[in-house]
Copies of this chain bind each other. A is one copy, B any other.
Amino acid sequence: MNPKLQELKNLLLEINDLEAAAGVLSWDQMTCMPPGGTAARGRQLATLKQISHEKFTRLTIGKLLDELRPYAESLPEDSDEAALIRLTARDYEKALKVPASFTAEFSNHTATTYDAWLKARESCDYKVVEPYLEKTLELSRRLAEFFPGYERIADPLIDFADEGMKASTISGIFNQLREELVPLVRAVTSQPEADDSCLHLNYSEMKQLQFGQEIITRMGYDLERGRQDKSPHPFTINFSIGDVRITTRVKENNLTEALFSSIHEAGHALYEQGINPDYEGTPLAGGTSAGIHESQSRLWENLVGRSLCFWQYFYPKLQVVFPEQLNSVSLDAYYRAINKVQKSLIRTDADEVTYNLHVMLRFDFEMDLLEGRLAVKDLPEAWAERFRNDLGLTPPDANRGVLQDMHWFSGTIGGAFQCYTLGNIMSAQFMEAAKKAHPAIEAEIAAGNFKTLHNWLKQNIYQYGRKYTTVELITRATGEPINIKPYIRYLRTKYSGLYNL
């Protein structure tokens, strides 16, 4: 290997180790840490982030990248080494713009905010987090301002999560989608409601978790290189390609909560576990964008996990686990229940049809907050009003309103939510392409066999890590850039069938 590239990789490995260590500390904070650890944990995370940032923005790295540019240009465009150098140079340019002291301040603030959010949820009281959120907003703006020349202040924050995207691009896509979705929601919700009472009987937590674990293992989630824990808000995190963990939450009176959140997070985890092992410890190891990541979690959760063929295989097994609750419920009735469309309060519980409305309103709030049209103190009221408007419901309390998602309490305001809808859109593009290449996929799923699908995703998405950008990746895999048509086609077909439209 080019000795300068080797030197660069050694330096990057140290930074990767520090980031992974910070990851372990965050995972621990969200799954295990006793309350007494909070103050020190914030400080510890801030220290790791600051050292990592200082080490990454060293002149040595800039100099190596400069020296390696001609070498990168001499390599075939598709070479991993060239991609590593290009990607690192992009990350480096970005990181240089943010002072290490800011990174530490932000990380420290995030740790205490997350703790305040937990407390706010206990007492169901927005006031507990309000001052923290004020500070988060201020920090989010300051972060964006390190990247002057933006069109809208959210752009740099969006770019962190979904490189190459801007507020105006997303607004454009969301407006297109909204035009298609609103009539579909109206048509579906004017039909008689599906009956999902069978999902809300009493289901033992342990059996739910065991059944979920059986499903995700069969999907291909490797428990030798991962584990599942409980946390207030499910998430996926990885400390190496060999250690990719997920969390879930479980409710005794809700069969779908743990089940679909496990499948969702396992979708993320399959992506991280499927990255080319040669990329270990380099910036190439990771998902290429939040949107692509969500396309994988949502593909498994919805296009696979809420499909009829999936339950043709798993429903009889579920009935064996919960005979009292489900023996009198037919597969068809169960399939209708898990796909019940309903205007609802909680994003993560929302059905596929209304889900994107939840995302769009959050995206709009982020723009309003960042651009000064909405004050943090007025957020709960604005939330209630917009909810009444878009979904015809008033949140009865803060936990079922503005406190429901951890995102603004564990990161920036701005750039936090668009990925979910981008992911939904792309999930349908990927699924269409996979089925086109392998028409037997559906029949295989109905036999509990996910290998062809999993391999197609590994070959076309997972293995590449961050080698390709979102646009490059989706174009290579599906032949076109992001496009809402396959998603609309998917929703129309599925829900016309379910609701006799």
The interface on chain A, measured as residues whose beta carbon lies within 8 A of the other chain's beta carbons, has a size of 42
**Nearest B residue (CB) for A23:** B44
**Binding stretch for chain B, among A219-227, A331-339, A455-463:** A219-227
A286 to B35, CA, bound (A): 20
Q: In the complex, which residues of chain B have a beta carbon less than 8 angstroms from the beta carbon of A40?
A: 17, 20, 239-243, 280-281
**Nearest B residue (CB) for A43:** B17
A13 to B43, CA, bound (A): 9
In the complex, A38 has a CB within 8 A of chain B:
yes
Q: Please state if A243 and B20 are interface contacts (CB–CB under 8 Å).
A: no
**Nearest B residue (CB) for A47:** B17
On whether A34 and B281 interact (CB within 8 A), knowing A17-B47, A47-B17, the answer reads no
Considering only residues 175-225 of chain A, those with a C-beta below 8 Å from chain B are 222-225
Q: Please state if B239 and A34 are interface contacts (CB–CB under 8 Å).
A: no
A24 to B240, CA, bound (A): 16
In the complex, A18 has a CB within 8 A of chain B:
yes
Q: In the complex, which residues of chain B have a beta carbon less than 8 angstroms from the beta carbon of A224?
A: 34-36
Mask, A34-57, CB within 8 Å of B = 1, is 111111110110111001000000
Q: Please state if B17 and A21 are interface contacts (CB–CB under 8 Å).
A: no
Q: Please state if B227 and A44 are interface contacts (CB–CB under 8 Å).
A: no
Nearest Cβ on chain B to A345's Cβ, whole angstroms: 32
**Nearest B residue (CB) for A229:** B32
Q: Which of A20, A38, A281 has the largest number of chain B CB atoms within 10 A?
A: A20
A227 to B48, CA, bound (A): 24
In the complex, A87 has a CB within 8 A of chain B:
no
Nearest Cβ on chain B to A133's Cβ, whole angstroms: 25
Q: Please state if B226 and A48 are interface contacts (CB–CB under 8 Å).
A: no
In the complex, A25 has a CB within 8 A of chain B:
yes
Which residues does A use to contact B, with CB under 8 Å?
Answer: 13-14, 17-18, 20-22, 24-25, 27-28, 32-41, 43-44, 46-48, 51, 222-227, 229, 239-243, 245, 280-281
